[in-house]
Amino acid sequence: MKANTALCFLLLGLALYLQEDENRSRSRIARPLIILALLIASVTLIEIAFSLDLGIDQLLFSDTPDSIATSAPGRMSAPTAVAFVLTGLVMLFHTIEDRARQLIILLAIGIALSAFVSYPLNLVFGSSLFSVTGMALHTSTLFLILCSALLIERPASGWLQILFSVSPLGDNTRSLLATAILAPFLLGWLIFYGESVGWYEAGLARSTYSVAVMLLLAIVVIYNAQRLYEAESTQKLLQTDLRAVQVQLQAFLEFSPSALFVKDVSGRYQLVNSQFEKLVDKSSQEIVGAVAQNLFKGPVLDAVLGSDQTVIETKNIVLTEVTLPFGGEQRTYLNTNFPLLDPQGAVEYIGGIWTDITEQKALNDALNLKNVELERSNKELEQFAYVASHDLQEPLRMVSSYMQLLEGRYREKLDQDAKEFIDYAVDGANRMQRLIQDLLSFSRVGTRGKPPQPIDSSIALQEALQNLKMAIDESNAEVKADDLPIVMADKNQLVQVFQNLIANALKFRGEKSPQILVSVKESNGFAGFAVKDNGIGIDPKHSDRIFVIFQRLNPREQYEGTGIGLSVCKKIVERHGGRIWLESKPGKGSTFYFTFPLAREEQVPSEHVVEKSDKINQESIQERAERLI
C-alpha cells in the first residue's frame, strides 16, 4: 500500500469517527480532513491523466524500486484514487439524495471488489485483468470496510431499507444478493482451478462455467419464483379474509343505531357510518379527511376537541354528553371516545360512538323527579300519621275514661243491655288506642330513628326478653340464644325487632309450650339473625303479605293484634340496609330471618371486646354445644 493511500484511509477513517461526535467543534474538524483526502486523490488522478509529477507521491516516504509498480514510484493507483474521490464526495456532501449516495458507494465497492477478487484469481491464473490495477489487497479490503460503514450509517434509506428489513422480503433479498455475489465467484474459481491444474481443456472450462452459471441462475430464478408464488397465494388468502372482515365490519357499522367514527391523532376522520353522516348532515366523502372544526361548532366542538385531547393524553375511554340539533329538535348524545393503540402502545387512532340518549335521559329525569316527589310525599305521610295518631290519643283517652266513669257511677241505674253496650265501647276504645300506639311506633321508625352505632346484639336481645318477661313466664316459654355479634344499629330499634318477633312467636304458639331459638350467621359484612319458633306456622304464599301494614292472617277473636308489628320490623331492618324474610310451613313453626350490618373491627369500642371475650370464657365449648343442641 502506497503511503498516500494509507494517509487517505487515516484521514477518512478519522473523519468518519469525528462526524458522529456530539461535540460540534470536534465534528467540524471532519470536513477539512475529508477535503485533504479528496485533494490528494484528485491531484493523483490529474498526475495519472496528464503524466505529470506534482511531487506529492513521495512526500512522506520514498518508494523502494522493487515495490509494485504503479504509474510512478510511491503513487497510488488510478482505481484507488477514483475510489477515494467517490467515498470522499459521499462523506463531504450529506445532502446527496439517498439512492444517488448508495449508487456512488456501490461504484466504489465495485472497484474495490474487482481488485479483491483478482487476488484469488491471480493465484490460480498467475495474472488477470485485475492485476494491472495495482490496488493492494489490504487497500481493497479497507475500501470494502469503509464502504460498508458508509452504507450501514443510514440503514433505513433507499434500497438498504429492503436489505436490512426484518421481513420475508428482506430475507429473500439478502439470500439472493449473497447467492448472486458468492456463487458465480466460487463456481468460477473452482472450474478455472480445475482447468489450471490440467483436469480439462480451457474451452471445456469456459463452457462448463457458462452452463453452471446458467443452471445456477435458473435455480435461483425458479426458487425465487416459487417463493413469490407462495407469497402471492398467502396474500390472496389474506385478501379474501380481509374482504370478509370488511364486509362484516361494514354490516356492523351500518346496522349500528349509534353514530360511529374513527379518526387519526391529528383529528382527521378516517371512517364513519351512515348514522354519523346523518348526524352531521354531510356525505362520507365530505367527512373523511375533514376535522371536527369542519363539522361542529360552539360547545359541541369544544366537547369533541376536549375529549380527543383527553383520550390521547390518558389513553383511557372518555365519556362526554353533548346536545345538538337533529331532525328539527335538540337531541342529547352520549359520546364514548376510546384510543386505538399501535403495537408500541402509542395512540394511533381515536374511535368514537355517539349514542342518542335523549329519550333515556328524559325518562331518567322524569324518574328522578318522581323519586323526589315520592320521598317528599312519604315524609309528609309519615308526619301526618305521627301527628294524627299522637293527637287522636287525647280525645280517645277522654272517650274511654268517661265510658268507665259512666259505668262506675250509673251501674245500678243501667239495664243489662246498656252495660253490654258500654263494654263494647270500652273494648273498642282500647283497641283503637293500641292501634294508634302501634301506628305511632311505625311512623317513629323513620322520624325518631337514631344513626346506627356499634351495638352488642346480645344486650339488645336481653332487653327485649326483659320487656317480654311476663308473657314468657305466662306461656311457660323456653328461649335459647347464640352468642350474638356486635352490629351497627339504633339500639332501641334492634330491641324492637327482637321484641316484635319473639312476641309473635309467643302469641302464635300452638298446642305445645313455645320454644324459641335465636341464632346468627355472619357473612359478607352482615349478621344474619334467625328467630325460630314451634308455633302455628304460616302458609308460604303469605310470606310477603304479612310484612305489609295492617295485614293479618288470623281473626282478631283468636289472636289479638293490629297487623303492624312485622311492618315495623321490615321498616327498621331496611332502614339499616338489611333485609327480612320468612321460612315456614303451617303447623311446623316459623323462622324469621333478618340482617344487620356487622360493626367493622375499627368501629367496635374496646369495652365491647372485653365483654365479648369474658362471655366466651364464662361458657365452655361443651356448654355452648349443649345449649345450641
Give the CA dihedral 29, 30, 32, 37, nearest 10 degrees.
150
With contact defined as beta carbons under 8 Å apart, do 393 and 429 qualify?
Answer: no
Is 590 a residue that touches ligand ADP (CB under 6 A)? yes
What distances in angstroms separate CA 213 from CA 23, 73, 109, 191, 217, one per listed residue? 51, 41, 23, 11, 6
User: Which one among 136, 477, 518, 538 touches ligand ADP, defined by CB under 6 A?
Assistant: 538
CA distance linking residue 189 with residue 484, whole number of Å: 100
The grid coordinates listed for 82 are 477514483
Minimum CB distance to ligand ADP smaller for 491 or for 571: 571
Is 566 a residue that touches ligand ADP (CB under 6 A)? yes
Minimum CB distance to ligand ADP smaller for 43 or for 549: 549
Task: With H, G, I as helix, E, B as strand and everything else as coil, classify residue 566.
Answer: helix
CA distance linking residue 487 with residue 405, whole number of Å: 49
With contact defined as beta carbons under 8 Å apart, do 516 and 603 qualify?
Answer: no
Phi, psi of 479 (to 5 degrees): -115, 125
Is 562 a residue that touches ligand ADP (CB under 6 A)? yes
Is 19 a residue that touches ligand ADP (CB under 6 A)? no
Minimum CB distance to ligand ADP smaller for 113 or for 505: 505
* Closest CB 313 distance from ligand ADP, rounded Å: 59
* Closest CB 370 distance from ligand ADP, rounded Å: 29
Site string for ligand ADP, 68-107 (x = CB under 6 A): ----------------------------------------
Order of strands across the sheet that contains 515-523? 478-481, 515-523, 526-532, 590-597, 580-584
Binding part of the chain for ligand ADP, among 82-90, 236-244, 355-363, 545-553 by CB under 6 A, reads: 545-553
* Closest CB 558 distance from ligand ADP, rounded Å: 10
Separation of first and last alpha carbons in the chain: 109
Minimum CB distance to ligand ADP smaller for 193 or for 559: 559
Is 533 a residue that touches ligand ADP (CB under 6 A)? yes
What distances in angstroms separate CA 490 from CA 550, 581, 596, one per listed residue? 24, 20, 11
What distances in angstroms separate CA 218 from CA 207, 211, 342, one per listed residue? 16, 10, 42
* Closest CB 574 distance from ligand ADP, rounded Å: 15
Place of cell 434500497: 159
- Print burial letters for 321-353: b (CB count within 10 Å at least 16), e (below 16): ebebebeeeebbbbbbbbbeeeeeeebebbbbb
User: Which one among 553, 581, 588, 612 touches ligand ADP, defined by CB under 6 A?
Assistant: 553
Task: With H, G, I as helix, E, B as strand and everything else as coil, classify residue 314.
Answer: helix
Minimum CB distance to ligand ADP smaller for 307 or for 584: 584
Task: With H, G, I as helix, E, B as strand and everything else as coil, classify residue 255.
Answer: helix
Minimum CB distance to ligand ADP smaller for 78 or for 569: 569
Minimum CB distance to ligand ADP smaller for 443 or for 500: 500
CB atoms < 10 A from the CB of 22, how many?
6
Task: With H, G, I as helix, E, B as strand and everything else as coil, classify residue 431.
Answer: helix
- Interface residues for ligand ADP in 155-214 (CB under 6 A)? none
Minimum CB distance to ligand ADP smaller for 322 or for 546: 546
Minimum CB distance to ligand ADP smaller for 318 or for 564: 564
* Closest CB 594 distance from ligand ADP, rounded Å: 13
* Closest CB 545 distance from ligand ADP, rounded Å: 8
Is 508 a residue that touches ligand ADP (CB under 6 A)? yes
User: Which one among 158, 446, 454, 563 touches ligand ADP, defined by CB under 6 A?
Assistant: 563
Minimum CB distance to ligand ADP smaller for 499 or for 595: 499
Is 440 a residue that touches ligand ADP (CB under 6 A)? no
Is 536 a residue that touches ligand ADP (CB under 6 A)? yes
Is 546 a residue that touches ligand ADP (CB under 6 A)? yes
Is 529 a residue that touches ligand ADP (CB under 6 A)? no
The grid coordinates listed for 374 are 315520592
Site string for ligand ADP, 482-501 (x = CB under 6 A): ------------------x-
Binding part of the chain for ligand ADP, among 47-55, 347-355, 558-566, 573-581 by CB under 6 A, reads: 558-566
Is 554 a residue that touches ligand ADP (CB under 6 A)? yes
- Count of residues of this chain found to bind ligand ADP when the rule CB under 6 A is applied: 21
Q: DSSP per residue over 317-374, as a string? A: -EEEEEEEEETTEEEEEEEEEEEEE-TTS-EEEEEEEEEE-HHHHHHHHHHHHHHHHH
Is 595 a residue that touches ligand ADP (CB under 6 A)? no
Is 552 a residue that touches ligand ADP (CB under 6 A)? yes
Q: For residue 560, give the DSSP letter.
A: -
Is 502 a residue that touches ligand ADP (CB under 6 A)? no
Is 514 a residue that touches ligand ADP (CB under 6 A)? no
CA distance linking residue 502 with residue 468, whole number of Å: 8
User: Which one among 561, 575, 608, 611 touches ligand ADP, defined by CB under 6 A?
Assistant: 561
Phi-psi domain of 617 (left: phi exceeds 0; alpha: psi -120 through 50; beta: other): alpha
* Closest CB 388 distance from ligand ADP, rounded Å: 20
- Interface residues for ligand ADP in 372-431 (CB under 6 A)? none
Which residues here bind ligand ADP, judged by CB under 6 A? 500, 504-505, 508, 533, 535-538, 546, 552-554, 561-567, 590
